[in-house]
Amino acid sequence: MTKASSVSRTARRAAGIGLLLALVAAGTSSASAQDKSMAVSKVERLNRAPVNKEILRVQLPRPTVVKLPNGLTLVLLEDHKLPTVTFSMRIRPGQLADPGDLPGLASFTASMLREGTARRSSTQIASEVDSLGGSLSADSDFGISYTSVEASGLMDSAPQLLDLMSDIVLHPSFPADELTQYKQRASTELEQNLSSPSFLAQLQLRHALYGEAPLSIASPTKESIAKVTADDLKKFHDAHYRAGNAILGAAGDFKTADMRALIEKYFGAWTGAAEAPIPLPKATATAAKITLVDRPASVQTYILGGNRAVRRTDPDYYALVVMNQILGGSAQSRLFLDLREEHGYTYGAYSGLNAEIYPGEWFAQAPVRTPVTDGSMTQFVYEFKRINSEPVPQGELDDAHRSLVARFALSLEQPSVLLQNWMVTQYYSLPADYWDKYADHIFAVDAAAVQATAKKYVDLDHMQWVCVGDRKQIADVLKKYGDVTIVDAEGKAVN
């Protein structure tokens, strides 16, 4: 299996920020492409999901949830369609426990789990996984409150997969030679990522939204990569990789009692009580501002705007999901139709939402040609004001409802998705019937709720904008939209 560092995962997250989006890389639009643009009102919406709400309602098969004597929570879901098995583990608290002088420590630790244990070398781990035709991975992304460890393969290989999975989780050795190689890869990838507009934009947006709190960090630094030692990794692992901090899910072709016994065989000796939740700083309102990341000679401006939003358990979550779908959740949404189809400014404009145990962010973004930075900002502001001030037409609202619920229903064909849904329920302590009622909650969001939610979270008075581009060409343009602070790629102020 190809090795992947925390930095590359952060870059992918920056390029594809949020769970339901697929960003479209920008390029220069030709004159002929602009000639083919059309008014939003003339864009025909095709391939609608079925109108009958009953067709879209689903009832998920229930897992068995048990807590082992050592504190490890199990989520076991039988699915006998295919002779396969998927394991998914979440271990708190992830990035939230990063020390201030070592940003990225949770990510470094997770990335090094596969690089050697007391029993196996990195090569042996990779060889065993390949021989099983399976997969084994571990990561701890920035902005996420847990470390993920995943494994999958044929059901016949479940004992071997659990042996491997438990070995890297319980007994990592963090070999010095592997850490040296990892740090070299991470340093190289960080250098590459610092030339990525989307990466630079996310770094500055999180800093603008979360100030100096750990949540503001979206990447390791050159200094933290150079400084981290195997002892740092071991201390982090020993402090936080506890049975009481973890949830282990399994979905596949097994009997629940048999799977529980098998998991207890490999994880039953794991110890450690659950940690108390890490206190997070209270959110404070910040006046709207624009951060311009200078990227000399850039032919594009990457525009990213956002606000703090909701926790996963907040009542506003459903309305925010529907509002986001209408504004920028797909290629049929307002931002895409406006900035791309009507004006030809970009290949794609989207919005997204990150909801965690802390108030995550709502954001909107588009990479645009430098000469149309002004027009693009104008249209962003126009669409933000429109969804704040005008009730959403019922037809557009119905389309959003159907799209969200149909996409959810179709995703449930995959056992791994079903498992992740139940992991979400368990991790955030959501009601047992949460997914059964998901469609009803989405359909219950009316135009008034969409507008009220937009006013709270698409808030131009507190919007944090980040624009990555050539300051010589766009600084004066951006001043029309608010106070501008100019920084370089490393976030240092530029005069």
Question: pLDDT tens digits, the chain, 495 residues: what are they?
Answer: 444 444 444 444 444 443 333 333 333 333 333 334 445 545 444 445 444 566 556 678 999 999 999 999 999 999 999 999 999 999 999 999 999 899 999 999 999 999 999 999 999 999 999 999 999 999 999 999 999 999 999 999 999 999 999 999 999 999 999 999 999 999 999 999 999 999 999 999 999 999 877 789 999 999 999 999 999 999 999 999 999 999 999 999 999 999 999 999 999 999 999 999 988 877 777 899 999 999 999 999 999 999 999 999 999 999 999 999 999 999 999 999 999 999 999 999 999 999 999 999 999 999 999 999 999 999 999 999 999 999 999 999 999 999 999 999 888 888 999 999 999 999 999 999 999 999 999 999 999 999 999 999 999 999 999 999 999 999 999 999 999 999 999 899 997
Task: Give me the domains of the chain, ranges plus CATH numbers.
Answer: 6-57+281-487 (3.30.830.10), 64-267 (3.30.830.10)
* Residue 126 structure tokens: 């990779």
* Residue 207 structure tokens: 């800093």
* Spatial contact of 15 and 192, defined as CB atoms under 8 Å apart: no
448: Cβ contacts below 8 Å, ≥ 6 apart: 391
* Spatial contact of 199 and 10, defined as CB atoms under 8 Å apart: yes
If residue 210 lies in a helix (H) or strand (E), which one and from where to where?
A: helix 197-210
Q: How far is the C-alpha of 217 from the C-alpha of 290, rounded, in Å? A: 19
Amino acid at 459: D
If residue 234 lies in a helix (H) or strand (E), which one and from where to where?
A: helix 230-240
pLDDT at 57: 65
Q: How far is the C-alpha of 252 from the C-alpha of 260, rounded, in Å? A: 13
For residue 314, count other CB atoms closer than 10 A to its CB. 14
Q: Helices 197-210 and 6-15 sit at what angle, rounded to 10 degrees?
A: 90
